[in-house]
Chains A and B, each alone.
Chain A
Amino acid sequence: MSDPAKPLPVLELDDLRVRFKTDGGMVHAVNGVSFRVDEGEALGVVGESGCGKSVTNMTVLRLIPTPPGEVSSGTIKYRGTDLLKLSAKEIRKVRGGKIAMIFQDPMTCLNPFLRISKQLTEAILLHSDMTPDEARERAIQELERVGIPDAAGRVDSYPHEFSGGMRQRVMIAMALCTDPDLLIADEPTTALDVTIQAQILDVLRRLQAEKGMSLVLVTHDLAVVAGMCTRVVVMYAGRIVEEAPVDDLFADPRHPYTIALLGSVPRLDDPVGRHLTPIEGLPPKLAEEPTSCAFAPRCTYAFDRCRAELPKLEPDPDGRLRACFVTFKDGVPVEPVDAGGAA
């Protein structure tokens, strides 16, 4: 699968499938996702709620409760090692140590019963040989780096003594205090207001550059991706529908879902009076693995083949990946490729 000429990616997912057994039957949350994250790269994972982006990334650290969750196929390779095959003890070394994760809601993600110092140092002590005093020193340094004023004086505070933005800074400090080389940030700014969002993204961007770590940024917010990432994968119904360098994606979206997503967000350079275009309909329930294009029912350009066949994620002539039977140029369909040949 991997090209020997290219250096080993930090993270490489191949054909990952995750499903959940619920009271209402099976839910196929992730249906064959493959992507890679290169050394020092920031990858954006975009999609609306329920598209499987969080489940995909939680599965990387095996944080999906099993049961009801189950990885039915695929591999998740961290520097060549399949994380899905590791023992419980081995995966614990990766969690927090090699791959760290921050989550959406900083108000609920820190333990309200424990001091910040305890929550930071327990991670440091777990993944290093430091003494408790050194770990505490390290925790204070890390809090300073994420911009907590008077870190030395506040390290023994409890989470409720911090504001939402400050708590997300603490979360970041907690994730980074073990020097992981991959950070998975799952909607890190969604629960915060806009000015705080910008500050948090600044911190993330700066620390990613300083530490030279790789970043997976999971979000539904295209603006966040535009400012942070070099490459983007767009997910829909548990599958990747398009993957592109970030500038290309915004300039020349080639999947109807991406086009629709971009049409539904306001832009500063919009002409006055442009109406936002919502995407009609709802994402599918995923009781079955999709066998045709999952977006077809909501797609303006869908034709017979889309409803009969599942488009694969395949490269265009210039190498960009997308999963659609229709060809687009500058966001406008050019021709249904193979439109007749499918039947």
Chain B
Amino acid sequence: MGRYLFKRLVQVPIVLLVLITLSFFMVRLAPGNPFSGEKKMDESVRQALNAKYGLDAPWPIQYLKYLKGLATLDLGPSYKQKGLTVNEIIAEKAPVSAVLGLTAMILALALGLTAGIISGIRQNSNFDYGSMGVAMIGLSVPTFVVGPLLALVFGLKLGWLPVAGYERMAGPIPYPQYLILPAITLALPFAARIARLTRAGMLDVINQDYIRTAWAKGLRERVIVLRHAMRGAMLPVVSFLGPAVAQILTGSLVVEQIFQIPGIGYEFVKSALNRDYTLVLGTVILFGVLLVAFNLLVDVIYGFLDPRIRYA
């Protein structure tokens, strides 16, 4: 296990370096640059700006300079948001997305696991049909439809919750009412995936011979499901959760846009459109680190869940 972990950890910087390199050049290959926007700008001003940020240097030089900064965890200045560094922007926005994402993930897990387990052990029951129907809707109706619909019903018509906005209570944490609708919107497709995966896993396990053995011992259904069936049924869900958690924590452009939430998901898309090179790279690196970390975590959890897996 220790050896395996060490090998995986050694791979991490390599994976990240490939990711950084590809993103670095790809974002520069896209037409335009940070200062080629729609606003008319004097040629001398443009040249001065390019010189100030080192954008007049050849790409390999820019690349090495960027890596040098990264070595000290410096993601550089934002080219478009004056006076702010990428580190500052991420430190400001990412926690907001993380709070929303974490809430949504907890919601998605609670809903998805419950629905999935019950549907799995009561296959073809009304509950099964009902929850899988809802899951199908959750999967196929995009968030940009669900979000405004929820805001319309619960915000405008019923007036129970704010339509949008993000009033902070402490740090990145808002008053709960601002979190409810965006969290539900964000959670729905994830809950649907988790429910379907859990149900499929449960169905697969519940028909195994060893479950029949458990019944023959005289165990109660609750014990059979929780002790004998859950672990096996969870394996596909855990695989899904690795990338899903990384994704949900780094925010969603659509949900943050609809509900006017100052998160990093919105910044990412804006920076890509603006050719804010350093901010694009910064957010890509953030997502990459999280993705690698959670996938590693999933592999470790796998080893705890399934004793047949041996790390070598």
Q: Which residues of A contact B (CB under 8 A)?
A: 61, 63, 92-97, 100-101, 103, 105, 108-115, 122-123, 126-127, 158, 160, 171, 174
Whether A96 pairs with B217 at a CB distance below 8 angstroms is yes
CA distance A282 to B228 in the complex (A): 38
Inter-chain contacts of A110 with B (CB < 8 A): 210, 213
Q: Which residues of B contact A (CB under 8 A)?
A: 208-210, 212-220, 223, 227-228, 231-232, 305-308
Q: What residue of chain A has the Cβ atom nearest to residue B206's Cβ?
A: A65
Inter-chain contacts of A127 with B (CB < 8 A): 218
**7 nearest A-B pairs in the assembled complex, by CB-CB distance:** A95-B218, A96-B218, A96-B217, A108-B209, A111-B210, A113-B231, A92-B218
Inter-chain contacts of B223 with A (CB < 8 A): 122
Q: What residue of chain B has the Cβ atom nearest to residue A118's Cβ?
A: B227
Interchain CB contact (< 8 A) of B216 among A63, A115, A158, A160: A63
CA distance A100 to B306 in the complex (A): 28
Whether A160 pairs with B212 at a CB distance below 8 angstroms is no
Inter-chain contacts of B216 with A (CB < 8 A): 61, 63, 95-96, 100-101, 103
Q: List 24 A-B contacts (CB under 8 A).
A: A63-B212, A92-B219, A92-B220, A94-B218, A95-B218, A96-B216, A96-B217, A97-B218, A100-B216, A101-B216, A105-B209, A109-B209, A109-B210, A110-B210, A111-B228, A112-B232, A113-B228, A113-B232, A113-B306, A115-B307, A122-B217, A123-B217, A123-B218, A127-B218
Interchain CB contact (< 8 A) of B305 among A61, A113, A126: A113
Interchain CB contact (< 8 A) of A112 among B212, B214, B227, B308: B308
The distance from the CB of A173 to the nearest CB of chain B, in whole angstroms, is 13
Whether B213 pairs with A126 at a CB distance below 8 angstroms is no
Inter-chain contacts of A101 with B (CB < 8 A): 216
Whether A126 pairs with B215 at a CB distance below 8 angstroms is no
Whether B217 pairs with A126 at a CB distance below 8 angstroms is yes
Q: What residue of chain B has the Cβ atom nearest to residue A92's Cβ?
A: B218
CA distance A171 to B216 in the complex (A): 12
Whether A108 pairs with B219 at a CB distance below 8 angstroms is no
Inter-chain contacts of A113 with B (CB < 8 A): 228, 231-232, 305-307
CA distance A93 to B218 in the complex (A): 6
Interchain CB contact (< 8 A) of B215 among A63, A97, A112, A171: A63
Interchain CB contact (< 8 A) of B213 among A92, A93, A94, A109: A109
How many A-B residue pairs have C-beta atoms within 8 angstroms? Tell me.
70
Whether A158 pairs with B215 at a CB distance below 8 angstroms is no
CA distance A112 to B228 in the complex (A): 9
The distance from the CB of B174 to the nearest CB of chain A, in whole angstroms, is 41
Known contacts A108-B209, A110-B213; A160 and B307 CB within 8 A of each other: yes
CA distance A92 to B213 in the complex (A): 13
CA distance A127 to B220 in the complex (A): 12
Inter-chain contacts of A95 with B (CB < 8 A): 215-218
The distance from the CB of A60 to the nearest CB of chain B, in whole angstroms, is 10
CA distance A202 to B231 in the complex (A): 35
Inter-chain contacts of A123 with B (CB < 8 A): 217-218
Whether B307 pairs with A158 at a CB distance below 8 angstroms is yes
CA distance A93 to B307 in the complex (A): 31
Whether A108 pairs with B208 at a CB distance below 8 angstroms is yes
Known contacts A112-B307, A113-B231, A114-B228; A126 and B212 CB within 8 A of each other: no
Inter-chain contacts of B307 with A (CB < 8 A): 112-113, 115, 158, 160
CA distance A270 to B59 in the complex (A): 88
Inter-chain contacts of B213 with A (CB < 8 A): 103, 109-111, 171, 174
Inter-chain contacts of A114 with B (CB < 8 A): 227-228
Whether B219 pairs with A126 at a CB distance below 8 angstroms is yes
Inter-chain contacts of B210 with A (CB < 8 A): 108-112
CA distance A111 to B217 in the complex (A): 13
Interchain CB contact (< 8 A) of B219 among A61, A122, A174: A122
CA distance A100 to B215 in the complex (A): 11
Q: What residue of chain B has the Cβ atom nearest to residue A175's Cβ?
A: B216
Inter-chain contacts of A112 with B (CB < 8 A): 210, 232, 306-308
Inter-chain contacts of B217 with A (CB < 8 A): 95-96, 122-123, 126, 174
Whether A103 pairs with B209 at a CB distance below 8 angstroms is yes
Inter-chain contacts of B209 with A (CB < 8 A): 103, 105, 108-109
Inter-chain contacts of B305 with A (CB < 8 A): 113
